[in-house]
Amino acid sequence: MPLECTPRLPAAPSLKADRVKPSPALFRSNNHTLKNDTLDNDTFKKVLQEMKGYMHGLRSPLLSLVALLLLWTAVASCFPAAEQADPVPQPLQPAKSEATAGTEQTSVSGAVREDIQGSVQGSVQDTEGSASGNSQDASPANRPSSAEAGSPPSTAAAGEKTPAGRSETEQVPQAAASTATDTPVPDSAIFEELDLLEDSAFAYLKELAEGLGPRTSGTDLEKEAGDFLLQRFEDLGYSAEIQEFSLSSTQSSLKVTAPTIGDLETNTLSGTANGEVSAQLVFVGLGKPEDFPEEGVTGKIALIERGEITFGSKVAQAEREGAVAAIIFNNAGGNFQGTLGGPSRIPAVSLSREHGRNLMDSLNDGNKVEATVAVVGEAIPSRNVIAEIPGAGEGVVIVGAHFDTVPDSIGASDNASGIGVLLTVAERMADRSLPFTLRFIAFGAEETGLHGSDYYVESLSQAKLEDIHLMINLDSVGSGTGLRIAGDRWAVNHMRDTAQREDVILAPTGRRGSGGSDHVNFRNAWVPVIFLLADDLSRINSPADTMEHINPQLLGHSSALVLDLLENVHTLSGYGQ
């Protein structure tokens, strides 16, 4: 379209009412068209002709001069200034509606953010403290636009930091936020705050492990730890409560009756059956199926060395082979505490390495060693701490970790680390509005047989269990160099993909989760689970599980992985199925 210009002349002051008036055509709102910055000849002649008559009617030379100057000014205003280069004509844009204008503003803002993101390179810190590049291409050409992805692009570029407590939606224009869908967009913003996550989780860990110390089930310190957690949840604004329950505490003993007589100090393996049996001992190596004699061990007490497979697997195999009790001796100095991961049908106890090797040597010398194993239970109190944020829709996602320890251990990794991550996640999610109810549970009495999670699961109706779409379990995430992820495939795949994209070191593990921890009771109730733990479990359930072996980076990575999963879980294909 051509540009338009309207030369307008103000009317000369009227001297007398009877004087000749100029043609009214000059003062109508008729635009004289300017094409390619030039008046066409016919229009120009028309203007001059009308001005001639206009000035003739004025009769005064002075007024005629004024009118001539006004004419020149009006005509000259239609031409570009002499010192400016001729502009390139641009088509006029149609008027925009409010909706169209808002969309254009969003597009421009998105382009600016894309440009910023493309110019910044991110990094995550590895376990040695050196920086390594983000594995995801951060260039705008390889990232979907907000229209393609179905949600606004991240405002925090790799290497930048998003202010704590703010979501991505809060940082984009309202027009962009309103177009977001449930389609997850790869977002590394939370991984750019690893230092803050590490500091938060480590502070909580230290407060629990060093501030309270050993938190054995049924003790005053376990109760105090529950009160500590209740207060922390309430400080964060959660609706929180204590769930009281009782469990059977067991005392165990081992008395050798032949060839010599003597009492040996034992620890009870959590999940053991109560009872007292007297029988002959037989050494069965590590307790794997190939370690048992062909004739079996029916009616005998299985003496088993610790290592390679779980305590529960060792005792379960001994049961299948016909053993009436099981003794597991340590493969390191001193005794240990352990859990079977579920109830056994025979008494099971642990023994120190020194005592175990003495019994093994006696058996290898051809002696018949006889002993009495006794396990006696008594009721003791314990508690769970539960906090939640009601969601806008149906479904529940649980984040859980146990807070108790074995005797004589401050449980820095097992499991003050899990509690530290849980509280850090709770801190970040406190002000969020989610499409599902988010529930945090700190379980008591895990070390004595997963009693806290067992009591919680048993307290729910079938309908309430079916409402739980995922249980995330955090246990012993503090020591080592990498993380293990186990559980239901749809959740594990998302977390593993995120971890690989962010250069988090992963160790291989099974699909549904292994070992004895609180996710087992949910899994047995057909609740989907994901289990996160570190790759160094060598010091758990021992006095050596101390602060000096904690790797803060694992705490930060665990926190970020859980936060990322919570942001995206409701969009995953397996959610709610």
Taking a C-beta distance cutoff of 8 angstroms, is the pair 473, 518 a contact? yes
Residue spans in the chain of domains classed CATH 3.50.30.30: 260-368
How far CA 180 is from CA of 164, 185, 529, in Å, comes to 21, 10, 28
Give the pLDDT score at 65.
67
Residue carrying the six token digits 């329950």: 245
Give the pLDDT score at 129.
32
Taking a C-beta distance cutoff of 8 angstroms, is the pair 154, 177 a contact? no
User: For domain 192-246+380-571, which CATH number applies: 3.60.9.10, 1.20.140.10, 3.40.630.10, 3.40.50.300?
Assistant: 3.40.630.10
Tell me how crowded residue 40 is: count the other CB atoms within 10 A of its CB: 13
- Per-residue pLDDT tens digits of the chain, which is 577 residues long: 434 444 444 444 443 334 343 443 433 334 444 434 444 555 555 555 655 555 555 555 666 666 666 666 655 554 444 433 333 333 333 333 333 333 333 332 333 223 323 332 333 233 333 333 333 333 333 323 333 333 333 333 333 323 333 233 223 222 223 223 344 444 568 998 999 999 999 999 999 999 999 999 999 999 999 999 999 999 999 999 999 999 877 789 899 988 887 899 999 898 899 999 999 999 999 999 999 998 889 999 999 999 999 999 999 999 999 999 999 999 988 888 888 888 899 999 999 999 999 999 999 988 899 999 999 988 899 999 999 999 999 999 999 999 999 999 999 999 999 999 999 999 999 999 999 999 999 999 999 889 999 999 999 999 999 999 999 999 999 999 999 999 999 999 999 999 999 999 998 764 444 558 999 999 999 999 999 999 999 999 999 999 999 999 999 999 999 999 999 999 999 998 8
Backbone angles phi, psi at 341, to 5 degrees: 80, 5
The tokens for 66 are: 């004024």
Residue spans in the chain of domains classed CATH 3.40.630.10: 192-246+380-571
| 260-368: CATH number | 3.50.30.30
**Rounded CA separation 403/445 (Å):** 8
The tokens for 59 are: 């009769």
Chain length of the chain: 577
Q: What is the pTM of this model?
A: 0.54
